[in-house]
Amino acid sequence: MIKPSASKSAAGDILKEPKRLSVNEKLALINLIEEGARLGSANSPIVADLFHDLGDLVNATVSGATIDRLKSDRSSNGFKVFEINAESGENLGRLNMMYLKKPIPCYYLVYVEVAVPFRKKGLGNRILEVFRDFLIEKSAVGILDNIIPEEDPTFDIYTKLEWQPIEAVIGTPTVNGDGVYMVYIPPSLAGKDLRDPVLKLVHHIKRKRPHIDMRDNELMVKRTIEEFKELYSALLGYFENTIKAGENDPLMRFMFTRFVTKLLGFRRRIARLLGYTGGESLEQIELDPKVRALPIQSYAPKELATNPLFQSGDKELWLHLPEALKNNPARTIEALPNYRRPNLTAWLDNIGAPQSHAMTIGDLMDLGFDPTRLKEITIGDKEYIFERMQDRMLPQLEQRKLILNRIAAHAAGKRIRNSVVHTNPPMLVLRG
């Protein structure tokens, strides 16, 4: 394995080789890098290391995968679970179902999930075939929501496995939001009049939908926390030598900063989940003191930052920007002061730190968000804010700009409950 840096002990001896990463750990780290890796940093040691033989590893993992049936218990929150597992024991996907015994035996398919790198390799079809065989074995009806868009190439995956629209059984259309109810009738029940029992099952599922979603959310949170724990372990393993040597490696700091910001984003999202009571806590993930003490690195280091310079928007504003910012936007913006949000100012006052306080990984965990995402700058006599975002968010930014400009055109000078309507659309986009 290529080391992240040439780490040596005080005596000059090379530290021991860090542990080998599994395919899932490699994929998790690649996902953490995101745009930097995807846009091609072939000269970066970490990217070359993570992508080395990755295609062969993925194919070998898929070919050796098995479908394991797990019993319904508290750990799966009342759902019966089928898992797709590699020979190494790593989980590649799962199928969750719920048993309904009245008026006839039925298994409601809650969802099927295959990890992104292993999709389009037949694993989803394999686990659905196992589910179909399970229904035949149990002489039970299967019901699911087909939420796959018709234009999606996998839209007919269920019909190929002899699932049919539920109207074929009950005779009347059944509204289900954006999804389409489908039913599988095992050979042992073929030819029987199942209209009334299936109709009752559908009504029962609709009535239990909020409860199903709550249970599904709790299971999702538990699984995601485990994924974060595994990702943290992979980071510790990959940068073991660098951490032990006490080096201030920008790439390592960037990776841990990305990890913590994603972790904090997940913490905010679970607070909005339907019925989630906090049964699984992110406090399970406790950072090593050496990791907490690392200075944050919000922008990708040079070995990953291969994006060409790019700018769009207000050309007049662009002309008035400092030359250093035009030539090296990311590094120059990173050095700007953080936007003085009230909650940031209050936190700094509480710990007795100035606005220029150099944030650490531990500070991000304590604060609950990344204050370096918003930077402030004065150009001429006007104040502006830079917001850092990922490339994939640019289409949403353009959409937001169109909406705000439309609102401004129709609401200029208008008041809502004695408040004047103002808009603040993005003016300039920079990358580099």
Residue 377 has what pLDDT? 92
Which of 176, 200, 217 marks a domain boundary? 217
In Å, how far are 176, 211, 228, 381 from 207, measured between CA atoms?
12, 9, 33, 59
Q: What is the pLDDT of residues 348-374, one digit of tens each?
A: 999 999 988 999 999 999 998 999 999
Least confident range from 37-46, 67-76, 130-139, 295-304: namely 37-46
Residue 39 has what pLDDT? 45
Cβ neighbours of residue 236 under 8 Å, at least 6 residues apart? Answer: 243, 288, 291
Residues 73 and 204 in one domain: yes
pLDDT for 340 beyond 90: yes
| Residue 17 or 289, more confident | 289
Domain contains 38:
no
Cβ(127)–Cβ(82) under 8 Å?
yes
Can you tell me the mean pLDDT for 37-52?
48
Residues 211 and 340 in one domain: no
Domain contains 50:
no
Domain contains 250:
no
Domain contains 334:
yes
Residues 71 and 182 in one domain: yes
Residues 84 and 197 in one domain: yes
Three-state DSSP state, 421: coil
pLDDT for 419 beyond 90: no
Cα torsion 268, 272, 277, 283 to 10°: value is -10
Number of H helices, E strands in the chain: 16, 13
pLDDT for 61 beyond 60: no
Residue 68 has what pLDDT? 78
- Residues 372 and 386: their CA atoms lie apart, in Å, by 10
Residue 55: CB atoms within 10 A of its CB come to: 10
Domain contains 83:
yes
Residues 315 and 201 in one domain: no
Domain contains 295:
no
Cβ(370)–Cβ(264) under 8 Å?
yes
pTM of the model: 0.70
Which of 155, 190, 217 marks a domain boundary? 217
Three-state DSSP state, 7: coil
Residues 327 and 203 in one domain: no
pLDDT for 36 beyond 70: no
Which of 168, 188, 217 marks a domain boundary? 217
Residues 71 and 193 in one domain: yes
Beta-bridged to residue 429, according to DSSP, are 312
Question: What CATH number is attached to the domain comprising 98?
Answer: 3.40.630.30
From the list 135, 106, 287, the residue with the least C-alpha distance to 199 is 106
Domain contains 35:
no
Cβ neighbours of residue 152 under 8 Å, at least 6 residues apart? Answer: none
Cα torsion 194, 195, 201, 202 to 10°: value is 140
pLDDT for 17 beyond 50: no
pLDDT for 342 beyond 50: yes
Domain contains 203:
yes
Residue 232 has what pLDDT? 87
Number of compact structural domains in the chain:
2
Question: Which tokens sit at 160?
Answer: 């190929």
pLDDT for 67 beyond 60: yes
- Angle at which helices 195-238 and 250-270 cross, to 10°: 150
> Interior CA angle at 364 toward 425 and 221, to 5°?
90
The model's confidence at residue 147, banded by pLDDT at 50, 70 and 90, is confident
Cβ neighbours of residue 238 under 8 Å, at least 6 residues apart? Answer: 4, 18, 21, 25, 29, 46
Cβ(306)–Cβ(39) under 8 Å?
yes
The model's confidence at residue 301, banded by pLDDT at 50, 70 and 90, is confident
Residue 381 has what pLDDT? 87
Name the most confidently modeled range: 171-185, 288-302, 355-369.
355-369
Residues 66 and 212 in one domain: yes
The model's confidence at residue 132, banded by pLDDT at 50, 70 and 90, is very high
Beta-bridged to residue 184, according to DSSP, are 142
Largest CA distance in the chain: 81
Name the most confidently modeled range: 27-31, 69-73, 158-162.
158-162
| Residue 373 or 54, more confident | 373
Beta-bridged to residue 377, according to DSSP, are 384
Question: Which tokens sit at 230?
Answer: 């595994």
Q: What is the pLDDT of residues 372-396, one digit of tens each?
A: 999 999 998 899 999 988 777 888 8
Residues 209 and 69 in one domain: yes
Residues 88 and 189 in one domain: yes
Task: Quote the domain boundaries for residue 413.
Answer: 310-431
Q: Which residue has the tokens 């937001």?
A: 400
Residues 211 and 351 in one domain: no
Residues 77 and 211 in one domain: yes
Residue 344 has what pLDDT? 93
Can you tell me the mean pLDDT for 209-234?
81
The model's confidence at residue 31, banded by pLDDT at 50, 70 and 90, is low
In Å, how far are 120, 201, 324, 417, 432 from 125, measured between CA atoms?
9, 25, 53, 56, 42
Three-state DSSP state, 133: helix
